[in-house]
Chains A and B, each alone.
Chain A
Amino acid sequence: MAGTMKMEPTAWCPGCGNFNILASLDRAIEKKGIDRKNLVLVSGIGQAAKCPHYTDANVFNGLHGRALPAATGIKLANHRLDVIITSGDGDMYGEGGNHLLHAMRRNIGIKVFVHNNQIYGLTKGQASPTSEKGFVTKIQVDGVLSEPVNPIAMAISEDCSFVARSSSVIPGHLEQMMIEAMICKGFALLDILHPCVSFNKINTFKWYRERVKELPADYDPHDRVKAFETSLKWGDEIPVGVIYRSERKSFEELLPVLSEGTLLESLSK
């Protein structure tokens, strides 16, 4: 055994949006100059949740829906680590929805990159929390009856440090959004729209490509009401970019026991 190295991404279908997300992540890590030995990639379960295995980093690939609490524990133990979650819409918005709500309340310095393909891939094509109303599957035979989750609006309502949307169909933009998320101090939610070539025949590469539209240069992400209005836009045009920013302090900055250094270091004193 020659040490611990990344795996080849063999579990993804050819043409899957995850490939572009992984490539953007790798470029963002390099450009931001993150020390990979100090980086922990955390995920839950799903096709997107396999992403951490496919790049060089420390990995915590935990339980379905539980990436956020695990990442919170890692950050509390050693807040000098860069902790990034890279997982899917089912994992983050479905099974782990409650954790997302509370992680945003804490504004803990975890960067969450959600691979949002609006479908459950690994379980073979059921609706996800972001599937659009009327979306027909073998389970939702009459089409989805519930409203899709709006993660962007939810994150703005919780006053997260950084709320952005991008897509695997615009990899250069995605890379830039990842870098900006890495720079921010508190909680960062980056919702990444991407196609599922096997199961989502509606929200395809072409579908996203035709709709994503960068925010205008004079857009002010600090305007919370405007940001909320922007978060409600979905249809022929889907805005991408940094939709909201807050100067709220991160959980690590507020927790008194972390002010003297990391808890991990305190054990070796």
Chain B
Amino acid sequence: MDINIRITGEAGQGVQTTGDLLSRVFSKAGLYVLSTQSYQSRVRGGENSYDVRVSDHEIFSSRSDVDLLVGLTAETTAEQLGFLNKSGIGIMDGDSIDGVAGIDMKAIAKESGGTAMMVNTVAAGAVMAVTGLGTGMLSELLREEFRKKGGDVAEQNIRCAEAGGRAVARHAGKIGPLTPGDAPKYLYSGSRAIGLSAAVSGVKVVSSYPMTPSTGVFTYLAGAAKKYGIAVEQAEDEIAAINLVCGAAYAGVPAMTTTSGGGFALMAEGISLAGMMELPVVVFLSQRPGPATGLPTRTGQEDLLFAVHAGHGVFPKAVFAPGDIKQAYDLTREAFRTAHRFQSPVILMADQFLTDMQKNMAELPFESDPIDRCIVEAPSQDYVRYAITDTGISPRAIPGGDVFVVADSDEHTEDGHLTEDLEVRVRQQDKRMRKGNEMLKEEYSPGIYPEPADEVLLCWGSTYGPCREAVDKLRDGGRSICMIHFARVWPLDGDRIKKLLQGRRVISVEGNSNAQFATLLKQAGALADFETILKYDGLPFTADEIAGRC
């Protein structure tokens, strides 16, 4: 059992409110939920949609086809009709159109004693009825949700939900029908998982300039600031944000900035500063299609080569790109750990698809558990910040202790002061680059699903979910195919990866127009020939699409 519900409407109509509410109810009912959003860059009007996919087994991706379409306007409903399955049902606010049952949601809301804004609750009630679960659990959730607001708000909403259900009584139970299950009941978005993990890992300073689709993480951290003790400051621009974070890291606390394409471009010089000063900074980069302003609210994987090479000069950095929400939580911690262990910038990459995605899972750890910042406790009086070592990692002290800590963006001597001694320059550059070799010694294996096979869908980052489901479909059809997913995309151990890929048909599945990850692997000598399945229309891959193009 696997159904896809799509709520569609204009910006400002509450498409997201309805979708969030449904995601929570289905999760509460113990069903597996995965929700995704598609929206335009505007505050009002246009066409937004919110998909809630519900199943009795774990799901990893979104679908393009729809079983239950809920339209808040006639125009947006008509736009989506082509995606409605033959056996699907459409309901919309207002008069019926071809194949879609119209119910007057605004009138229902008013008759039930609610306000015009409660069409969202009417719509949610209708969905609960059509999927056979009924409005009981929705009512419980509304009661919990609105208890704080007091007055009659909760009861008004409940009456609206029930009336919504009654209005579609003739379709009751026609989709699914769903029955409560035992799926884990904690619902997380990609943004929330990343923000939570940063807070738990001990991030103390967060500074960003708001930019879709990275703002969710920034917002989460602002909300969590008091609980975890984090200074969250909106910077005047991205240049300020990255430099502020560099200052905080120098002073000894884990620090992070969040951004997207154009903002990340502004940060490039600051990332180079972190490379030169050897500062542990974490940059969260949520991708959207470019160039320039591109498609501000859509998804893409176009910034991998840019991220890997971001910053002038040559210095080591790590780039991580988690595949799903749980991995996003785990790798966020790993990003902080790696940044501190190697005193280097780490870029954590996601995209609109993954940051906005919601999925239910077992509860993620939320107790504060700061990472080891690898700070030298009692430096001796002959301490120097950039001591030459075999690993390239110099003991890191922080200001305010017993020794001076001198950090310079110029090339510097071991004690941190600027120099133009060219032999010293070569020694320091070699020292910094040795840290890159050390990074490669970290234990890491790409995710192979379900087991090595003749054909490989090669992917990185958020393409994990659609590729995984595509592999299931193709294997059901008898193909010897697997997915190999990379969540640590830089640095790369070319020799090891070559052994893994050798002798297999490799198809690189990427959300860009120039196969960036395959290009990196080719550069690293890990891959000779490859085929591609590329997508750059601003929408995420679906499993059907990948399977159909293999």
Q: Is B250 an interface residue (CB 8 A)?
A: yes
Q: How far is the CB of A44 from chain B (nearest CB, A)?
A: 9
Whether B407 and A59, one on each chain, are in contact in the complex, defined by CB atoms closer than 8 angstroms, is: yes
Contact (A53, B202) CB under 8 Å given A4-B405, A73-B245, A258-B231? no
Whether A263 and B244, one on each chain, are in contact in the complex, defined by CB atoms closer than 8 angstroms, is: no
Contact (A77, B384) CB under 8 Å given A53-B406, A62-B246, A63-B269? no
Q: How far is the CB of B88 from chain A (nearest CB, A)?
A: 50
Q: Mark A43-66, 1 if CB is under 8 A from B, else 0.
A: 001000010010011111111001
Q: How far is the CB of A47 from chain B (nearest CB, A)?
A: 12
Contact (A62, B418) CB under 8 Å given A78-B252, A257-B230, A266-B229? no
Q: Which of B240, B370, B384, B398 contacts A4 (CB 8 A)?
A: B384
- Residues of chain A with a CB closer than 8 A to B270's CB: 63, 66
> On chain B, which size bracket covers the interface?
35 or more
Whether A264 and B251, one on each chain, are in contact in the complex, defined by CB atoms closer than 8 angstroms, is: yes
Contact (A59, B243) CB under 8 Å given A4-B383, A267-B370? no
- Residues of chain A with a CB closer than 8 A to B391's CB: none
Q: Is B417 an interface residue (CB 8 A)?
A: yes
Whether B418 and A4, one on each chain, are in contact in the complex, defined by CB atoms closer than 8 angstroms, is: no
Q: For B402, give the chain A residue with the smallest CB separation.
A: A37
Q: How far is the CB of B385 from chain A (nearest CB, A)?
A: 7
Whether A78 and B400, one on each chain, are in contact in the complex, defined by CB atoms closer than 8 angstroms, is: yes
Q: Which of B235, B244, B382 contacts A1 (CB 8 A)?
A: B382
- Residues of chain A with a CB closer than 8 A to B247's CB: 42, 60, 62, 69-75, 77
Q: Which of B231, B240, B409, B415 contacts A3 (CB 8 A)?
A: B415
Whether A77 and B251, one on each chain, are in contact in the complex, defined by CB atoms closer than 8 angstroms, is: yes
Whether A81 and B273, one on each chain, are in contact in the complex, defined by CB atoms closer than 8 angstroms, is: no
Q: Which of B225, B251, B400 contacts A73 (CB 8 A)?
A: B251
Q: Is the interface of B mostly helix, strand, loop or mixed?
A: loop
- Residues of chain A with a CB closer than 8 A to B241's CB: 69
Complex: A36 Cα to B401 Cα, angstroms: 10
Q: Which of A40, A59, A80, A102 contacts B408 (CB 8 A)?
A: A59
Q: How far is the CB of A18 from chain B (nearest CB, A)?
A: 15
Whether A77 and B205, one on each chain, are in contact in the complex, defined by CB atoms closer than 8 angstroms, is: yes
Complex: A194 Cα to B253 Cα, angstroms: 37
- Residues of chain B with a CB closer than 8 A to A36's CB: 404
Complex: A58 Cα to B408 Cα, angstroms: 11
Q: For B255, give the chain A residue with the smallest CB separation.
A: A73
Q: How far is the CB of B227 from chain A (nearest CB, A)?
A: 10
Q: How far is the CB of B363 from chain A (nearest CB, A)?
A: 25
Whether A4 and B403, one on each chain, are in contact in the complex, defined by CB atoms closer than 8 angstroms, is: yes
Residues of A within 8 A of B (CB): 1-5, 7, 36-38, 40, 42, 45, 50, 53, 56-63, 66, 68-78, 80-81, 98-99, 101-102, 255-258, 260, 263-264, 266-267
Residues of B within 8 A of A (CB): 202, 204-205, 207, 225-226, 229-231, 233, 235-237, 239-241, 243-253, 255, 269-270, 273, 277, 370, 373, 381-385, 387, 398-410, 414-418
By Cβ-Cβ distance, the 8 closest A-B pairs, closest first, are A73-B247, A70-B247, A77-B251, A73-B248, A58-B399, A69-B243, A73-B244, A69-B240
